[in-house]
Chains A and B, each alone.
Chain A
Amino acid sequence: MSDGINHQTSVDPMDLWRQWNETTSKMWSTVLERGKEAPLDPYGLYQLWLKNIEEAQKQLKADPSGMMNPLEVWKQWFDATTEVWSRSTELSKDSLELTSQWLKIVEETRARILSGEIRSTDPFTLFKQWYDATSETWAQVVGDVISSERFMEANRNFIETYTSAVRVSHRVNEDALKNLQIPTRSDIARVAELVVSLEEKVDTIEDVLEDFEDSYAKVATSEAVESLAGRLEQVESKLNTLDTLPAALEKIEALGGLEGRLDRVESKLDTLLLALEKINISVPPGTATTRSSTGRRIQKKNYASQGVKDAALGIELAKDNDE
């Protein structure tokens, strides 16, 4: 069998846990019983705890083969703990109901351990199993405490006190730093505000320029410029054809003038014809031949007058052409 040294180095952690909890529970029961055994002083509690630890160590050395069934160890521990916490619930005011809630957790955990749900000896795995087994209840307990009126009131008071202290501290620091001519956070913040305002203006200008660019202006590409140049050339060539316009306009004006002249010539010829007709009428009868000759003469004169007309027209036209 293993000697005492081996067992001391490979002591069952469950047993140690049991010893520690018994010691602790004794300490708490002493406190909660209002120090029936001894006056309540911090050193007294510590000494009681040390005393119980020494007793546990003696028991361990005396009983090196004390390798109890872990479940039995747990059972003993839970029995001791629940007994202590039950007594404390009865004795104390337990305004936040922490004690009774803690007792509920302990009892629930006992059930799980004794059923074998938590059984590992690896400390990390044990811790995780413990957490998985108890976290829901823990969360419920803590949630109930946090949502209680007492807790929220205390929290509100704390916020008021703390923020008040922070305000005073900031004010004192600001004044001290100002006296030392050292820039403070508020000084830097003021400068930063100016920079932010400037950036705001630049951003607004950028926004306006982008709107303008997207809505109206297009970038003038070389293709666009060349196309515009081509269109300008076409317009110029069309304008060039309009140089003959004045001459054409003059001809139109000349024609208009000619028309007037023609009208005058016609009126003159009409006057001449009238005169010739009067002459014809004044010629005596018997002169049929005369008449006929007169007719021939008149016809000749008609031809002549036509010729005169034509000649007159030609002279006038020639004159106009010369002019």
Chain B
Amino acid sequence: MRSPAAFLRFLLARLDRRRLDREMDDEMALHLELHAEALERQGLSPSEAHRRARAEFGGVQHYREQAREARALSWAYDLVADVRYGVRMLRRSPGFTLVAVASLAVGLGANIAIFGVLYGTMLQSLAIPRAGELAALVVNTDGDPSTIFRWKDYLALRASPNAPELQGVNEMDDIQVGAGKVSMLLPIDYVDGGYLELIGVRPILGRLIAPSDERANAQVVVISEPAWTHLFARDPGAIGRRLLIKDIPFSVIGVMPASFHGVMFNWRFGMAVPHSAAATLGIPADRDYVQIVTRVASASARAAAAAPLDATLHGCCLAKMKDPTKARLALVDASRGVPYSKMDFRDDYRMLLWLLMGGAFLVLLVACSNVGSLMLARGAARERELAVRLSMGASRGRVVRQLLAESALLAALGAAIGVMLAAWATGVLIATLPAGMESSAALVEFHAKGAIIAFTIAASIACVFAFGLGPALRATREDLVSALKDRAGWRSNGRGRPIDRLLVIGQVAVTLVLVCGAGLLTATLRNLRTIDPGYASDHLLMVSLETRATGFERDGIIPLHQEILDRVRRLPGIQSAGMATRIPAFGGRTIFSAYTVVGRSLRDSLEADITAITPGYFATAGTRFMLGRDFDATDSPASPPVVIVNEAFARKHFAGGSPIGAQVRIAQINGGETVTIVGVVHDVRFGDRRSRQDPMLYLPSTQSGNWPFLELMVRSSLSPRVLVPSIDQAVESYARGLRFRNWATMEEAYNETILRERLAASLGATCALLALGLAMVGLSGVVGFAVVRRTREIGVRMALGARRSSVVWLVLRSALVMVGIGVGIGAPLAVGAGRALGALLFGIGAMNPFVLSGAAVGLMFVAVLASAIPAWRASRVDPVSSLRSD
């Protein structure tokens, strides 16, 4: 066995091509000499002996070439030679190179960009050691999975026999921290003692939180690298320093690397404190939740480990549930982050991203067929060159390799530019994300990760074979010589080579699929935007007024809200203002409560959403009353309780009649007192406006108990954003320290709500436009090529009196026939693709005739444009010179 160093020398020696060639020459020269000597001994003259020796040896050059090929490593030298040759050939035809590289850059760029997003969101594992083992506990109740457990339930589960080591973490929202004069908001993790150890990420400084910290109730904190940078300017002496969390001193014991983002999907890690510090920091016991993670070796081990935990959970913790038999505890894969959190958008986006990946693949297909058809044309133009090379003794494999090397060069250039395009496109995409999605942006941010590099290389190689192999084999085919002689053969077939026509037809079909898909997605977006949501979206500004984590936390927002509203209403530029616990598209919360309608015996148990609102809220939102009145100042805590219901409620219980004056009993509010219906409002559409509103009960804010927050809505005569400072000031002057969260206009809020649909429409349209552009370049090329080949025929026609217009039509007709066939093939595929879009669509079916025919007519129109230049050129053919030329 050779030592590695010796092997390396051996390898280097072999790579020294010149030396090897020289040795081969020496060897053959010796052979010839010895043979000549032998012949001389048989009596031949020296010159005759040398001649004979050469003749009997055969073609020296030929065997040299063969011997070189026999050396396995020769591919490496050949590669260098091929690439050099390829560069020369590509530089000789810059037009071809430009179009081919641009096509590939667009096709590969789209794929790389979408793959980058797909990988970052759907495929990438957490940046922790052995991420594949990480599993999270989840309770499935009626198909509604939750990974959130009460702390005391966690303690019971952790103590259950035969269970793997469980560790709990509660990853919570931002909280104020300060060190010296520097302060910032950081998300905080309350972790059990062994949690960070289980995760296994080593701190870049100091130590992790240990079980002893938890037991000792130690006020210690592990901070993230960015926090360390911001608060301590990356001072290694930060360990042991004091960090104030909500003005309570904690001691910094460690710094986690920036790559660690916590275990929840789409989370960011700010700092971790022992769970025992939660009480100190004012987390009430009833909000003391954890997510539970563990490590198990495999999927089957997950199931085995879940069984004893399920038994424990049923034994200890489900007594309060309505139907505990429905609850099942399981361990789920958390290697890509603990699922089902409110930050986890994967279920909403999974299908869209895979569809976009498919769309990008189709774009690449069109790009490859473009390049393939260019290569075919080039192969035809280079027949003479290739025939010469083949007849000089180069093997077919060698020439095919040579042509593939050219393809590989094109693909490499295309991929390099494609990566740049992808990085740029991802940047544009991130710039369109609304504020507050920084962690999602970080997920999709473009990095040259291993997986993306591997994908790029694999896609490029696939391209080389897709567009390069066929033309290379064709250009070197056996009957080349006869094909050379038979040039007139394809000139008489005026429409160009059938393979080109097939490629164009395929491109048109694929493009139609993409254009139809984009059309359906765009129509969906328009449908969502134009549907009447039951409120007037313009000139609205909203903000959430939050008492949690402020001095007003104990009493909540209700004691403050009327005075705040009065002050806001007095501000210049404000037409009206109101508050609600939930505002469509913007956010907030409703209570889901059981209710009964007094005087009706209803068999089903009824539940409805309850929103608390102030007088003037409906007027501000622009939601119209169908019947009755709005709340007003007379609806005080002391006055008889009243309720406004929505259309859906009225329809459900009072079809045809008026609900005004009827009474309702609401379980969750005011101890089930009866309330009187005083008004009916039109339904509004919440969220992305896809679904009609369910029955809703609106209660006056003064009669609906306490709330920690209210959403303020103002309607202004100005551009709403300019009101932010004055509202801020007006509230601050009365309730200093009240938190404002999420300033947004209704347009902004709604745009954020339909982010997925907007991305679907814009990215779908981008794919469609790219494919369309590429297909038209391809069509234009093929039609142009055909015109060049038909020059003589066109000349004859014109000499015989054909008019220019009929020549133009001749060319356009051939283009339209190809597009027509492509549309015919693509239409059923487009309907299939529309079906695949399924749930993404709204207000439009997969087989919409307008979209389909619009896309077809659009393609025809663009095809005419793309053929215009070749057609014009055909009409300028001079009969005399065309007949003379060859």
A and B physically associate: no
